[in-house]
């Protein structure tokens, strides 16, 4: 096992190997440095904790016990920077010092709402359109950091000898591990062999193969085959999270309730989630998209549908409110806008195909029997484009003992040709449950750099009782080449859930996770 | 040295003599197995590290996820919370021993419904479900939910699990 700092902003100062060396089963205790000093890091070499203590022993339980007894001292990191190869372009990444907290992050993010940000797209004259509008609506949305929490904690087997490196384990991007390890060990690529095992979940987390490198370095030093195992706590506190984001929206309606101006301003710790050219870009004559970022020493990484997993919920909740203000049915309202993009698009860089986005909305409207929900059932709708596919959900909710409960989700997806329909449906069902779980309960918070949730007793994962009884998945039949499916059904869940919760509770939810968000009653 | 626990001191005093190792004779999947381990070692690690029954998985180590579920007698237990010293004569069944050819009604229902995604939680789900049906062959929806609520599936296969448990129950009755 490895021992990493208990908080972001701390690093290893010293440790006393003798404090545990004589414990039963303990073979060796030493330091490893995952990355070479000054090296240009690969894009997936993200790592806040490159300086670790390794404990090698005969069995997992013995090492777990020894780990608890290890005497180790930590010290604050200093401001630093390193080079990263961002798909062919070398960039310099600044890492701040300090111990960060969730409360401070939210204060900083709230502060950004009133500041000018970088304009990523502008169509028409948004400023004057807002001034002359009959009605304007302004809202902001936010979400916390999330840990991937793959069911199988990070782990890897390694056997490193003088002339060969054999690795085996679960990793999403073996070729990236190979490249980093070759440079770390000064070995040619051909000397490194990686065998892949099934992954107990990836969700993006296993694109970051630092744990495979750690296993190799431990094996090299211990001169023995080793299996590196992360405890759940190690896994949850090592970093590489879904970032915390915030987005503010503004919409203007004219006298006839047409959407005449739209503004989105989005940012986060430490990256912006903005997609400037996605819906409703292209549907509004006066449009502006802006972005900002707040730097952090908490590491982030790809998490099922990066950035979309926040933007979809924010945008689709906001459009629901705008449709309501315009006195229109939420599906009709979206379809009207999509019709405009099709017949007379604003701008040239719209990322999505309006016809296919409208297609999933129409299909979900039909399959869910949208206009006729049962009494006591509250419905929310949402549709989103990402990873080259289109997904729309209608989510049904009831109030049970004063608590909202999702009973049914009907989903329509256009991802081109579906090759394995049953596995595809299973993937979409899982994405929907994952979306409900993370929107409702998912949250990783920090106090003085330290993750406050470290295992499943404090990090709430959706369970059997909270899952809808029925999920229906419908695929648009066409002959288009297949596109993404792991990600696309995930992001729109957040919006459909928020919109159904509004109907069920009379409250608009703006801050995830919704379970702890207590917004006022609307109207 | 800053922190020394009582346990460490004992070890230091005895200079690496494994005084608290002990021999246990265990009945697992109908066969006898001997292990020489610290009595506090959870069955999870005895199964995985010492006996190579690696179908039983580690997910949390604190009884929150159910990935490590095995049967102790007829009941589903979290093997991460079951010290080897507490097992005694009781029979342990792991996923490897649930049926000889993978054809337990629950396993068949799992195949029929095509439940798993990554698969990591599924051995635990199946062990919980098969213990439930053994003790309650026709559970209601609420009983299924209650029994299964301690088993997390991060991939979200819950709706299929519920369907498969019901199918297995029908097959049984
Ligand atoms: S590992 Fe035993 S319940 Fe999670
Ligand atoms: S199938 Fe992956 S955790 Fe359940």
Residues of chain A with CATH 3.30.365.10: 2-82+148-237, 244-516
pLDDT at A523 over 90: no
Q: Tell me the CA distances in angstroms from A64 to A2, A226, B58, one per residue in order.
A: 10, 15, 13
Cβ–Cβ under 8 Å, residues A145 and A244: yes
A198 Cβ neighbours under 8 A, 6+ residues apart = A170, B118, B119
Cβ–Cβ under 8 Å, residues A61 and B38: yes
Mean pLDDT of A354-359: 98
Say whether residue B6 is in contact with chain A using an 8 A CB cutoff: no
pLDDT at B156 over 80: yes
One CATH from 3.30.310.80, 3.40.50.2300, 3.30.365.10, 3.30.360.10 for A2-82+148-237: 3.30.365.10
Q: Which helix (H) or strand (E) holds A403?
A: strand A403-414
Q: What is the percentage of chain A residues whose pLDDT exceeds 70? A: 100
Burial of A202 (0-12, 13-18, 19+ CB in 10 A): buried
**Ligand 1 surroundings by CB, under 6 angstroms:** B 58-61, 63-68, 78, 80
Among the partner-chain residues B16, B45, B119, the one whose CB lies closest to the CB of A61 is B45
pLDDT at B6 over 60: no
Burial of A60 (0-12, 13-18, 19+ CB in 10 A): buried
**Residue A430 CA: which ligand is closest?**
2
Greatest extent of chain B over all pairs of C-alpha atoms, in Å: 63
DSSP A313-376: HHHHHHHHHHHHHTT--HHHHHHHHHHHHHHS-SSS---S-HHHHHHHHHHHHHHHTTT-PPTT
Cβ–Cβ under 8 Å, residues A200 and A156: no
Going by pLDDT thresholds of 50, 70 and 90, the confidence category of residue B4 is: very low
A492 Cβ neighbours under 8 A, 6+ residues apart = A312, A313, A316, A382, A383, A384, A391, A392, A393, A435
Q: Tell me the CA distances in angstroms from A35 to A39, A45, A76, A97, A325, one per residue in order.
A: 7, 9, 19, 19, 54
Q: At what angle do helices A491-505 and A308-325 cross, to 10 degrees?
A: 40
Going by pLDDT thresholds of 50, 70 and 90, the confidence category of residue A204 is: very high
Interchain pair A429, B5: CB under 8 A: no
Backbone angles phi, psi at A86, to 5 degrees: -95, 85
CA distance A295 to A449: 14
Give how far the C-alpha of residue A154 lies from the chain's centroid of Cα atoms, to the nearest Å.
Answer: 18
A and B: number of Cβ contacts within 8 A: 154
Q: Which helix (H) or strand (E) holds B127?
A: helix B122-135
β-bridge mates for residue A330, sequence order: none
pLDDT at B2 over 50: no
Cβ–Cβ under 8 Å, residues A136 and A485: no
Among the partner-chain residues A59, A455, A465, the one whose CB lies closest to the CB of B62 is A455
Burial A393-422 (b: 16+ CB within 10 A, else e): bbbbbbeeeeebbbbbbbbbbbbbebeeee
With residues binned 3-state (H G I as helix, E B as strand, rest as coil), the percentages for chain B, rounded to 5, are 40, 15, 45
CA distance A400 to A397: 9
Cβ–Cβ under 8 Å, residues A441 and A434: no
Please report the beta strands in B60-138, taking only residues with DSSP state E, as ranges in sequence order: 69-72, 75-78, 91-93
CA distance B167 to B145: 15
Distance A65 CA to ligand 1 centre (A): 17
Cβ–Cβ under 8 Å, residues A389 and A316: no
Q: What chain A residue is nearest to B5 in terms of C-alpha separation?
A: A69
Q: How many CB atoms lie within 10 A of CB B138?
A: 11
Q: Residue A51: left if φ>0, alpha if ψ -120 to 50, beta else—which one?
A: beta
Cβ–Cβ under 8 Å, residues A200 and A152: yes
Q: What chain B residue is nearest to A468 in terms of C-alpha separation?
A: B159
Q: What is the dihedral of CA B47, B49, B54, B57, to 10 degrees?
A: 80
pTM score of the predicted model: 0.95
Cβ–Cβ under 8 Å, residues B134 and B147: no
| List of chain A residues whose C-beta atoms are within 8 Å of the C-beta of residue B8 | 19-20, 23, 69
Mean pLDDT of A502-519: 95
For residue A178, the SS3 value is helix
CA distance A77 to A80: 8
Predicted confidence (pLDDT) per residue in A81-117, tens digit: 999 998 899 999 999 999 999 999 999 999 999 999 9
CA distance A27 to A23: 9
**Residue B78 CA: which ligand is closest?**
1
pLDDT at B73 over 90: yes
Which residue out of B55, B60, B95, B118 has the highest number of ligand 2 atoms within 8 Å of its CB and is therefore the one to mutate?
B118
What is the pLDDT at residue A87?
A: 87
Give how far the C-alpha of residue A106 lies from the chain's centroid of Cα atoms, to the nearest Å.
Answer: 18
Of the listed ranges A169-183, A390-404, A430-444, B1-15, the one predicted with least confidence: B1-15
What is the pLDDT at residue A475?
A: 98
pLDDT at B13 over 80: no
Mean pLDDT of A119-131: 98
Distance B151 CA to ligand 1 centre (A): 9
Cβ–Cβ under 8 Å, residues B29 and B97: yes
Burial of B48 (0-12, 13-18, 19+ CB in 10 A): buried
What is the pLDDT at residue B172?
A: 54
pLDDT at B22 over 70: yes
Burial of A201 (0-12, 13-18, 19+ CB in 10 A): buried
β-bridge mates for residue A53, sequence order: A3, A31
Predicted confidence (pLDDT) per residue in A48-64, tens digit: 999 999 999 999 999 99
Of the listed ranges A501-505, B75-79, B169-173, the one predicted with least confidence: B169-173
β-bridge mates for residue A226, sequence order: A158
State the architecture of A244-516 in CATH terms. Answer: 2-Layer Sandwich (3.30)
Among the partner-chain residues B21, B154, B162, the one whose CB lies closest to the CB of A150 is B154
pLDDT at B1 over 60: no
pLDDT at A47 over 60: yes
CA distance A166 to A186: 15
What is the pLDDT at residue B171?
A: 78
For residue B21, the SS3 value is coil
Please give the span between the terminal C-alpha atoms of chain A, in angstroms, as a whole number.
55
Going by pLDDT thresholds of 50, 70 and 90, the confidence category of residue A522 is: confident
What is the pLDDT at residue B17?
A: 43
A115 Cβ neighbours under 8 A, 6+ residues apart = A292
Half-sphere exposure in the Cβ direction for A58 (13 Å, CA): 11
A272 Cβ neighbours under 8 A, 6+ residues apart = A245, A266, A291, A292, A293, A307
What is the pLDDT at residue A163?
A: 87
Burial of A364 (0-12, 13-18, 19+ CB in 10 A): buried
- What chain B holds in terms of domains, given with CATH numbers, is 11-97 (3.10.20.30), 105-172 (1.10.150.120)
Length of chain A: 523
Interchain pair B42, A423: CB under 8 A: no
Q: Tell me the CA distances in angstroms from B142 to A393, B66, B147, one per residue in order.
A: 26, 19, 9
DSSP-H helix ranges across A392-448: 421-440
CA distance A246 to A71: 40
Greatest extent of chain A over all pairs of C-alpha atoms, in Å: 80
Predicted confidence (pLDDT) per residue in A244-301, tens digit: 999 999 999 999 999 999 999 999 999 999 999 999 999 999 999 999 999 999 999 9
DSSP A459-487: S----GGGS-SEEEEEE----SPP---SS
Say whether residue B15 is in contact with chain A using an 8 A CB cutoff: yes
């Amino acid at each position: 096992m490895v021992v990493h700092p208990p908080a972001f902003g701390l690093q290893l100062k010293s440790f006393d190997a003798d404090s545990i060396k004589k414990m039963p089963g303990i073979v060796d205790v030493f330091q490893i440095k995952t990355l070479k000093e000054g090296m240009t890091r690969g894009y997936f070499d993200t790592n806040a904790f490159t300086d670790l203590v390794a404990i090698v022993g005969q069995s997992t339980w013995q090492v777990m016990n020894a780990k608890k007894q290890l005497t180790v001292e930590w010290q604050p990191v200093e401001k630093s920077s390193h080079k990263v190869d961002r798909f062919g372009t070398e960039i310099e990444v600044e890492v701040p010092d300090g111990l960060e907290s969730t409360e401070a992050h939210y204060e900083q993010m709230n502060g950004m709402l009133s500041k000018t940000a970088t304009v990523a797209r502008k169509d028409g004259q948004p400023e004057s359109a807002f001034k002359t509008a009959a009605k304007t609506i302004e809202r902001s949305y936010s979400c916390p950091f999330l840990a991937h929490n793959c069911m199988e904690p990070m782990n890897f087997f390694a056997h490193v000898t003088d002339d060969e490196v054999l690795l085996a384990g679960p990793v999403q991007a073996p070729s990236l591990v190979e490249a980093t390890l070759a440079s770390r060990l000064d070995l040619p690529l051909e000397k490194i062999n990686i065998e892949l095992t099934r992954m107990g979940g990836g969700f993006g987390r296993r694109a970051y193969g630092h744990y495979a490198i750690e296993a190799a370095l431990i094996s090299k030093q211990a001169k023995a085959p080793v299996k590196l195992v992360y405890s759940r706590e190690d896994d949850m506190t090592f970093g590489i999270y879904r970032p915390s984001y915030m987005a503010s929206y503004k919409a203007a309606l004219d006298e006839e309730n047409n959407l005449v101006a739209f503004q989105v301003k989005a940012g986060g710790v430490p990256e912006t989630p903005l997609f400037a050219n996605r819906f409703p870009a292209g549907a509004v004559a006066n449009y502006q998209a802006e972005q900002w970022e707040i730097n952090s020493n908490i590491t982030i990484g790809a998490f099922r549908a990066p950035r979309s997993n926040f933007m979809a919920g924010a945008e689709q909740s906001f459009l629901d409110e705008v449709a309501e203000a315009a006195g229109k049915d939420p599906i009709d309202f979206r379809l009207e806008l999509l019709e405009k993009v099709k017949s007379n698009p604003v701008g040239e860089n719209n990322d999505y195909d309006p016809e296919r986005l409208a297609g999933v909305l129409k299909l979900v409207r039909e399959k869910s029997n949208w206009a006729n929900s049962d009494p006591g059932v509250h419905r929310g709708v949402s549709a989103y484009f990402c990873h080259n596919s289109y997904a729309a959900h209608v989510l049904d909710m009831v109030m049970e003992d004063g608590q909202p409960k999702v009973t049914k989700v009907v989903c329509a997806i256009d991802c081109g040709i579906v090759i394995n329909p049953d596995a595809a449906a299973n993937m979409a069902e899982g994405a929907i449950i994952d979306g409900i779980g993370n929107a409702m309960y998912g949250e990783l918070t920090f106090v003085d750099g330290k993750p406050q949730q470290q295992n499943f007793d404090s990090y709430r994962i959706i369970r059997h009782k909270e899952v809808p009884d029925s999920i229906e998945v419908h695929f648009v039949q066409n002959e288009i080449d297949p596109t993404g499916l792991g990600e696309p059904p995930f992001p729109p869940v957040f919006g459909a859930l928020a919109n159904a919760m509004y109907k069920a509770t009379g409250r608009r939810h703006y801050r995830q996770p919704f379970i702890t968000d207590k917004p006022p009653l609307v109207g | 040295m800053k922190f020394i626990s009582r346990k460490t001191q004992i070890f230091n005093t005895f200079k690496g003599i494994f005084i608290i190792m002990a021999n246990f004779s265990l009945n697992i999947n109908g066969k006898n197995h001997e292990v020489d381990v610290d009595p506090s070692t959870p069955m999870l690690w005895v199964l995985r590290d010492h006996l190579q029954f690696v179908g039983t998985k580690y997910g949390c180590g604190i009884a929150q996820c159910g990935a490590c579920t095995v049967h102790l007698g007829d009941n589903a237990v979290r093997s991460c919370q079951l010290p080897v010293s507490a097992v005694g004569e009781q029979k342990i069944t792991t996923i490897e021993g649930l049926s000889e050819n993978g054809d337990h009604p629950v396993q068949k229902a799992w195949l029929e419904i095509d439940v798993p995604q990554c698969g990591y939680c599924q051995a635990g789900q199946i062990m919980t479900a098969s213990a439930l049906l053994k003790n309650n062959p026709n559970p209601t929806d609420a009983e299924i939910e209650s029994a299964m609520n301690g088993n997390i599936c991060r991939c979200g296969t819950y709706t299929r699990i519920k369907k498969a448990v019901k199918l297995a129950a029908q097959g049984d009755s």
